[in-house]
Amino acid sequence: MTQTSAWRELRRHHRRELWWLGLLGALILIPWLAGLAAGVWFIAHQGWTWYWWVGSVLLITLGFWLALSKLHRPQPPRVTLPFASPGASEAERVARQAVRRRAEAVEAGDLDSFEAIAPLIQGAFHDVAQAYSPDDQAALWRFTLPELLLMVEDFAQRLRTRVLLELPMVRHIELSWVVTLLDLAGPVGRWWSVLRLLRWVDPSQALLAELRGGLTGKVFSGVGETAKAQVGVILIEQAGETAIKLYSGTYRRRVDELRPTAPQPLTETPDAPLTILLAGRRNAGKSALLNALLGKAREPVGLLTPATADCRAYEFQSAQAGKLILVDCPGSDGRSKEPWLAQAAQSDLVLWVAAANRADRAADQRALAALDALTERNRTARRIPRALVLTHADTLDPPQEWTPPYDPDQGPGLKEREMREARQAACEQLDVPLHQCALVAIRPGEPLWNREALEQAIIQVLPEAQQKRLERGLGKDGWFRTSKDIVLTAPNLIDTFKSFAGRMLSRTWRSP
């Protein structure tokens, strides 16, 4: 059965449209072609043909010269390593600043050979290790072997992506040419896997060995100065990102993914729903907000980590954020040991509830300062994410007016302007980004006003909450997990020892 071409089908069904399109194109081109022909005839008639050719050649040469000079002019490499997120730990902020400074100082001469890469990657790892453990002599080796294996795998994958984006020509360079030139095929290749086992001196050496194993260094010989500097920046940035994951414990959670039967790695997002704590001063409208969110379904649920005394957990299904766990604690009254603070240490996100019509924020500021103090003592811990919920929006001036809908973002009305000013002032006083703050109103017998904005504020802070969830999960193994791993490892160690001892005895008896 013959297939009909797309052009034939197009002519068959759109013959009239194609005819009109061709006529329109001809009418547009005819004046230009006529003008070009007239210009050439005029130049030839005036005897200027020679000048026209010389001028054309000079202009084309000038254009090529300008283009080549721009290409050969060294351009500063682009540093794309992102800064730390607002909720990042102090150690991560220091580490990212140090890696960025190192990347900005890279020059093309730093990559004259493969051996020149070592100081770049080693320096990035030392910067990150010292940021996470500044007074630790063994900071560079605070990881396990499975974490190191995951690190090398992750680094190679992300480095490949960045190199293909920045230098797409490398996809056309066959490494078989380099193998042939270096005579790595044959007997040497069989010993390469053995030699790679000797590379685990420190994590930066592992990454260098991975690069050398891919024969990346030979590519540098044909790369320009600007490209060399950019490659150096890429190496430092990717090594820095990898080191931050290694020393912050990100790979520790993913160690369990190393199973032969696993078809693909697990995602880094937590499986269990996020735990969100509703906290605030007394009489701020926290209980009314909880009732409005949950409706009549207020059945307490259990948590993996039991809730603090006097706190209750409830399952909440958000249309935009999915399944969540809301934990309700008694309001803050200024005491040093409050239930909500103890629960905050076990939560992924804090919704701080405050009244929009209240000008005094001193008590709220003290409470949020106490919340920050929970993680300030540990420089590797991320700040507990928070979002601000301003209740009593209906009581703002004019207090007797309440005829929704209202637009707190751009509405021209007096009440809408009051809403914007109250939200702006509260966010500045409590150091909460504007996009993580929502105005709500809870009136008897009416649905929660501005619920969509509240859920959107939660969504804005969800990435930080998920990172906090992962961080909290790293410390839950404890002695039970350690004992379990020892018990599971013991039989394999015994079998390995028996096999080794048997081989040694066999060799001893065979020897003369």
Whether 464 maps to a domain, the answer reads: yes
Whether 77 maps to a domain, the answer reads: no
Q: What's residue 242's pLDDT?
A: 83
pLDDT digits (tens, 9 = 90+) for 310-340: 788 898 887 777 788 999 988 887 765 788 9
Q: What's residue 8's pLDDT?
A: 64
The answer to whether the predicted template modeling score (pTM) of the entire model surpasses 0.75 is: no
Q: Which amino acid is at 330?
A: P
Contact between 234 and 163 under an 8 Å Cβ cutoff? The reply is: yes
Choose one of 43, 72, 101: the last residue of a domain. 72
Contact between 147 and 244 under an 8 Å Cβ cutoff? The reply is: no
- State whether 94 and 43 are in the same domain: no
Whether 262 maps to a domain, the answer reads: no
pLDDT digits (tens, 9 = 90+) for 339-364: 899 999 999 999 999 999 998 899 99
Q: For residue 256, what are its two tokens?
A: 């369990």
Using alpha carbons, list the distances in angstroms from residue 317 to 267, 297, 453: 22, 11, 16
- State whether 220 and 330 are in the same domain: no
Strands 437-439, 386-391: parallel, antiparallel or unpaired by DSSP?
A: parallel
- State whether 493 and 470 are in the same domain: no
For residue 296, what is the domain's CATH number? Answer: 3.40.50.300
- State whether 59 and 149 are in the same domain: no
- State whether 453 and 483 are in the same domain: no
Whether 61 maps to a domain, the answer reads: yes
In this structure, the dihedral spanned by the alpha carbons of residues 463, 468, 471 and 472, taken in order and rounded to 10 degrees, is -140
CA end-to-end span of the chain: 80
- State whether 244 and 329 are in the same domain: no
Rounded Cα distance between 333 and 102, Å, is 48
- State whether 37 and 185 are in the same domain: no
Helix (H, G, I), strand (E, B) or coil at 433: coil
Q: For residue 53, what are its two tokens?
A: 């050719």
| Residue 281 phi, psi dihedral angles, 5° rounding | -70, 160
Choose one of 198, 226, 257: the last residue of a domain. 257
Q: For residue 89, what are its two tokens?
A: 């730990």
Rounded Cα distance between 435 and 331, Å, is 25
- State whether 144 and 46 are in the same domain: no
Strands 274-280, 349-355: parallel, antiparallel or unpaired by DSSP?
A: parallel
Q: Write out the residue range of the structural domain in which residue 493 sits.
A: 478-512
323-332 in b/e burial notation, b at 16+ Cβ within 10 A?
Answer: ebbbbbbbbb
- Nearest to 273, CA basis, from 221, 343, 322: 322
Q: What's residue 201's pLDDT?
A: 42
Whether 80 maps to a domain, the answer reads: no
Q: What's residue 353's pLDDT?
A: 96
| 223 φ/ψ sector (left φ>0, alpha ψ -120 to 50, else beta) | beta
Rounded Cα distance between 229 and 233, Å, is 6
Q: What's residue 10's pLDDT?
A: 57
Look up tokens 């081989």; give the residue: 503
- Nearest to 439, CA basis, from 452, 431, 430, 447: 452
What is the count of structural domains for the chain?
A: 4
Q: What's residue 190's pLDDT?
A: 40
Q: For residue 229, what are its two tokens?
A: 């500097």
- Nearest to 318, CA basis, from 210, 205, 457, 144: 457
Bridge partner residues of 316 (DSSP): 324
- State whether 352 and 384 are in the same domain: yes
Whether 267 maps to a domain, the answer reads: no
Whether 373 maps to a domain, the answer reads: yes
- State whether 388 and 321 are in the same domain: yes
Q: For residue 264, what are its two tokens?
A: 């693909």
pLDDT tens over the chain, length 512 residues: 444 555 565 566 567 777 777 888 788 888 788 877 888 788 788 878 788 788 888 888 887 787 777 656 666 777 878 888 777 888 888 999 999 999 888 877 777 666 777 788 888 888 988 888 887 777 777 777 777 777 777 777 776 776 666 656 555 555 455 445 444 444 444 444 434 433 444 566 566 555 555 445 444 555 566 667 777 888 888 888 888 888 877 776 665 554 443 334 434 444 578 899 999 998 898 989 998 988 765 555 444 455 556 788 898 887 777 788 999 988 887 765 788 999 999 999 999 999 999 988 999 999 999 999 998 888 888 899 999 999 999 999 998 999 999 999 999 999 999 999 999 999 999 999 999 999 999 998 899 999 999 999 999 998 889 888 878 776 555 555 566 666 666 676 676 666 766 666 666 666 55
- State whether 370 and 493 are in the same domain: no
Q: What's residue 1's pLDDT?
A: 43
Whether 411 maps to a domain, the answer reads: yes
- State whether 351 and 394 are in the same domain: yes
